[in-house]
Structure 1
Amino acid sequence: MMEAVLIDMFSIEFNAHFRHINQFLAKAMKLIAEKTVVSSDPAVYIMYCQTFGCDSNDAREMFLRAIRSFQALKKRIELVSGASVAATLYNVKQKLDERNVRRVNVILPFERSCLMKAFIDRLFTQVYYFEYDSLDLSYGDDQTEKPANTHSGVLNLTEKQLELVESDIQIYLQSIPAKGELTILKSSLIPESVFLHGFTTRYGGISYIPLLSSLNLYSSDKRHDSRAVVAENLRRLARAVGFNPKNFHLVKAAHANDVWIMGKKEPDSYDGIVTNQKGVTIAAPGADCIPLLFSDPVKKVFGAAHSGWRGTLMGVAMATVNAMVSEYGCSMKDIQVVLGPSVGPCCFTLPQQDAKAFHDIHPQCVRQIDSPSPHVDIRRATKILLEQGGILPSNIQDDLMLCTCCNPDLFFSHTRDGDTFGNQIGFISTRN
């Protein structure tokens, strides 16, 4: 069942073809009526260009008059306009999200089908479901009357057209004001003269869904932020901090202990990265799991790892350290490890069977071990495992003790927010 209808009239010229616009709207409304079941009343959004494709005030008024006549037939019609396709469609997306709408029927001129699909694929994720209905937009028997900006019969976009789609989206997203001031937490252990690093908070991005607002730095098909939005958040972070977002690598978190040695073949999934490459920034996500940063200022080798409770038990922290030692000749005494913000034992619980594994690391890693759901301290367990592996206690920093779950104004949290959650990151690179 469709929950909303989007009528794409963005590219239609309104000067000389008013009669055909009426015909197009009539066909669209008839199609909506045929698809609408008695119990549903989908909202209808009509997207059009702010300039109306014309310079005539009379044409503008005629267009609005036509829309009003259809609004009289169906009250839930809303006009959505913008200076570009990206701006208008993103405006539609916000309206859909406000109403928690996921299923949309798109009605559009045939020649716009591929173009609109390209925009939707880049601005939406698989959380949303779109169906497309193409209508012929007749301009009469004389084909010379057809406006120059139509592309009847085009079934596939050219590479140049796809580049224009990407550019339209990027230009618009870059124009959106940031929500809050970008705030980076830094370690006093990692030497600033050698490494560029930090841990992000949720401030300073453009994500508008409440649970993702505003500097969400992870996109997936199960979340509302598209890759384009996350890429813009990353661009703003990179510009503020001073790294190249085109040479940025985020671990492919699998809650395990695989480590990618950059320069070797990239695994399908890994929770750690180590490298000595200049100009490269690596990062680990966190939304309760610990983003770990590793640095060796002597060898100028650095690493990042994602350590959830499973990864902690599987030893991802020491797996990253061991990769630095075996691949780059780092000395244990020179390796520094910083634990980024994560969930604390105040908020994180596990079933007793899983909690016992942490109790085996050290009894202080678990509170109330006899309860069905003991509280677990993954940070303490990580530090203990690092020290047992040979990292000097003075080279382990854990003073970013803010619990992600307890601080909703600062951090994203899976424990607190459920499956629709955002991600902060810990990032590191060498200074050139």
Structure 2
Amino acid sequence: MVEAVLIDLFSLPANLQNNIRGLLHNILETIEKCSSIPAPLVYVICCQRQGTERNGEQEFLLPALRDFQSLKKRLEVVHALTTAAALYTIKQRLDEKDLSIVKVILPTLRKDLMKVYIDHLFTAVYQFEFEDLQVATDCKNLQIAEPWSEEQRLPTQDVALIRSEIQTYLESLPSLNGELTILRSSLIPGDIFLHGFTTRTGGISYIPNLSSCNLFSSSKRRDPQVVVKENLRRLADAAGFDPETFHRVKIDHANAVCIMGKTEPDSYDGIVTNQKGITIAAPGADCIPVLFADPVRKACGAAHSGWKGTLLGVSMATVNAMVSEYGCNVKDILVVLGPSVGPCCYKLPHESAKEFHRIDPKCVRLFDSANPYVDIRRATRILLESGGILPENIQDDSITDQNQNITFCTACHPDKFYSHFRDGTNFGTQIGFISIKD
């Protein structure tokens, strides 16, 4: 069932505007007549020419719009300087109402262009059906069809122009919910390494659970890759690294480690490098983003350590990769545990909690309950120390700093951090990142 209709009049020349009135009238009449109650939302996008008043530009549409009382509150004319700006505005309206099934009525010549814009600005959460801009004569035109999957037919240079337009528009947007904030550890020497842990503020993601500096996109979330890329660009600008030489782990919740410069595994939760200027990163939205630094051999690493990865020893696997690949001495390696869900909030089923109890009974609270509280940070520290990392070379603020400089509980601080445990499946993600300075 169509939830919203987008009528694209963006690039129609002025000499066609008189003809469009009747056409638009017929389209709206069909929508009003054929839709279930309530009628779908209708968005009409038009080009707002620079130096013109919006009211003047809207005049040619008014005769076609004023007759539709049932659609009056559900119809919006969206003026914008670019298609990217118009579509992003409509995406915000859809997301506010949690809508995702959209019919796009547009000139045939605009179809391939529009598909590129949609492919970049939306994710697989949304379904789109396309219809040529012509008089709709029956109700079946409003039924949703299969999502489009045609081969891209636009010339490469046109696609590049669209990407550039989208990027320019996103770069122009203001940061949301405060300034971009980077947490840094005093344990890692700043003269050798660039590093930090992000919080949730200072990006452009506007969906509440993803607001505002979300750094991960997937087909199941409403934040598209272009928005995440812009958030990363702003982070890179603030932190001082090159987003073009940025590499994050490809999460598998296991213990594989990628060695930068060698064949990249299909998935891995640890990554190490000794190359200057390469920024490596691990995400976390309850799972621990762990950073590793050896100031003697000038090598570094990052790992994503959830409860499964913790039990599988991903942190020590990352340490061992630094030792075997770069000749690091385990006693020189510094380890910082980033923002992650704390033992105050995190629960696991009893069977999983038993594995942490075997590492150390103190890793589990209320062990006899169906869902005991689990301390994945303590388990990580114990496994690192067992592998030879010096206790004084591990920063976990839940035990080393009562002021909580870095290792905050993500679930306890909704203003600062994303949390899968707290927010559910449509959650945002922060990262820990590190690189060797030139």
> Is the structural similarity TM-score above 0.5?
yes
Question: Partner residue of 1:85?
Answer: 83
Q: 1:210 to 1:157 in 2, by over 3 A?
A: same
- What displacement does 1:17 show? 2.0
Tell whether the 8 Å contact from 2:288 to 2:339 is kept in structure 1 after alignment. yes
Q: Pick from 369, 372, 375: which aligns with 1:371?
A: 369
Q: RMSD value over aligned CA atoms?
A: 1.9
Question: Partner residue of 1:428?
Answer: 434
Q: 1:364 to 1:115 in 2, by over 3 A?
A: same
Question: Partner residue of 1:8?
Answer: 8
Q: 1:20 to 1:366 in 2, by over 3 A?
A: same
Distance 2:168 2:10 in 1: 18
Question: Partner residue of 2:164?
Answer: 167
- What displacement does 1:22 show? 1.9
- What displacement does 1:51 show? 1.9
Question: Partner residue of 1:417?
Answer: 423
Matches within 5 A, 1:321-360: 321-360=319-358
Distance 1:396 1:241 in 2: 23
Q: Pick from 249, 257, 260: which aligns with 2:258?
A: 260
Q: Pick from 383, 386, 389: which aligns with 1:385?
A: 383
Matched residue count: 412
Question: Partner residue of 1:121?
Answer: 119
Matches within 5 A, 1:273-284: 273-284=271-282
- What displacement does 1:110 show? 0.5
Distance 2:299 2:285 in 1: 26
Tell whether the 8 Å contact from 2:28 to 2:68 is kept in structure 1 after alignment. no
Aligned residue type for 1:282: I
Aligned residue type for 1:32: I
- What displacement does 1:200 show? 0.3
Aligned residue type for 1:159: T
Question: Partner residue of 1:142?
Answer: none
Aligned residue type for 1:165: I
Tell whether the 8 Å contact from 2:54 to 2:79 is kept in structure 1 after alignment. no
Structure 2, gaps ≥5 residues long: 136-151, 398-405
Question: Partner residue of 1:151?
Answer: none
Question: Partner residue of 1:406?
Answer: 412
Question: Partner residue of 2:270?
Answer: 272
- What displacement does 1:67 show? 4.0
Distance 1:262 1:315 in 2: 20
Question: Partner residue of 1:44?
Answer: 42
Q: Pick from 155, 158, 162: which aligns with 1:158?
A: 155
- What displacement does 1:318 show? 0.4
Aligned residue type for 1:427: F
Aligned residue type for 2:108: F
Aligned residue type for 1:7: I
Question: Partner residue of 1:74?
Answer: 71
Distance 1:279 1:231 in 2: 19
Structure 1, gaps ≥5 residues long: 138-154
Question: Partner residue of 2:224?
Answer: 226
Distance 1:68 1:136 in 2: 17
Aligned residue type for 1:390: G
Deviations 1:73-122 (A, max 9, x none): 73221111111111111000111111111111111110000101100110
Tell whether the 8 Å contact from 1:71 to 1:77 is kept in structure 2 after alignment. no
- Structure 1 window deviating more from structure 2 (238-247 vs 73-82): it is 73-82
Deviations 1:7-26 (A, max 9, x none): 01111122x22332124314
Distance 2:312 2:384 in 1: 12
- What displacement does 1:40 show? 4.3
Q: 1:183 to 1:171 in 2, by over 3 A?
A: same
- What displacement does 1:58 show? 10
Distance 1:116 1:96 in 2: 17
Secondary structure of 1:273's partner?
strand
Distance 1:57 1:335 in 2: 61
Secondary structure of 1:266's partner?
coil
Distance 2:382 2:170 in 1: 44
Q: Calculate the TM-score normalised by the size of structure 2.
A: 0.90
Q: Pick from 351, 359, 362: which aligns with 1:361?
A: 359
Matches within 5 A, 1:300-315: 300-315=298-313
Distance 1:57 1:30 in 2: 25
Q: Pick from 246, 249, 252: which aligns with 1:248?
A: 246
Secondary structure of 2:208's partner?
coil
Secondary structure of 1:156's partner?
coil
Question: Partner residue of 2:194?
Answer: 196
Distance 1:171 1:279 in 2: 26
Q: 1:220 to 1:430 in 2, by over 3 A?
A: same
Secondary structure of 1:381's partner?
helix
Tell whether the 8 Å contact from 1:28 to 1:107 is kept in structure 2 after alignment. no
Deviations 1:129-156 (A, max 9, x none): 111112259xxxxxxxxxxxxxxxxx82
Deviations 1:181-220 (A, max 9, x none): 1111111111000000000000110000010110000000
Distance 2:287 2:355 in 1: 17
Distance 2:160 2:327 in 1: 44
Matches within 5 A, 1:91-130: 91-130=89-128
- Structure 1 window deviating more from structure 2 (96-105 vs 195-204): it is 96-105
Q: 1:233 to 1:348 in 2, by over 3 A?
A: same
Q: Calculate the TM-score normalised by the size of structure 1.
A: 0.92
- Structure 1 window deviating more from structure 2 (258-267 vs 379-388): it is 258-267
Tell whether the 8 Å contact from 2:21 to 2:61 is kept in structure 1 after alignment. no
- What displacement does 1:66 show? 2.9
- What displacement does 1:33 show? 5.1
- Structure 1 window deviating more from structure 2 (344-353 vs 37-46): it is 37-46
**Percent identity of the aligned residues?**
59
Deviations 1:268-306 (A, max 9, x none): 110000011112100000000000000111111110000
Q: Which runs of 4+ in 1 moved over 6 A?
A: 54-59
- What displacement does 1:60 show? 3.1
Tell whether the 8 Å contact from 1:313 to 1:357 is kept in structure 2 after alignment. yes
Secondary structure of 2:281's partner?
strand
Question: Partner residue of 1:21?
Answer: 20
